[in-house]
Chain A
Amino acid sequence: MVEVKLWAGLRPLADNQSVATVEASNIREMLRKLEERYPGLATPFRGQVAVAVDGVIYRDDWSKELPEGAEVMLIKRLAGG
């Protein structure tokens, strides 16, 4: 099981939850299960999110495995210069 923290802007789309628990072994599975539970997340999940796993930010590699007990946070996909 993975505890996923949602940034404030996502919470209204997820029944105002700040944390969601899902059974997922990688980022792709986690996002899919969150979207199944909260369909409103579909739009931000298309190109607007990044995932911090134990402090490292993943923007594209949805195959990244989620270790047991990992800290997982959804954050906005960042801009760079």
Chain B
Amino acid sequence: MIKRLQQGQEAAFQILVKQYQSRLMAIAWGITLDHEESLEIVQDVFFNVYRNINEFRGDAGLMTWMRKITVNLCLNWKRRWKRRFKWHHVSLDSGDTLSSKEENASPESHYLNLEMEKNIMAHVARLPEKIRTVFILKTVEDMSYEAIAQMLNIKPGTVSSRLYHARKSLAGALKREAS
């Protein structure tokens, strides 16, 4: 695959996009919570791979490399500034698409699940970006503390603290809402 990518074969890039786009999109959207921006970021990640594939040494996996580019692009200061302006109008409305698990659930439980998710995502959006990034990398990609620490250039202890902080904030917010 990498050889074909290094030869610049378009078909290889198409396979690469199909294989990894939803994973990268999940990370990008998890951090930015902005659909258009996430699309742009994921596109840029693939374009970066296209441009620099000859420099790819292969000592880390392709996904590790792309994940790192995705996070770096999400945390790019220019994008962060733009995002701050847009955040006043952020909409976390999710459509009514059902995941395969929920297709068999009753309409009531599906509605409740959707509401819960909507609420929790609204609270995730309110988490500080540093904490949200760590939380998303752990929940979506199930990365180890060490891997997250290495990627973000922080200590594993900081990763642990941020994850705890995220959970505590989300649990507190949900509890306040319920009461």
A and B bound? no
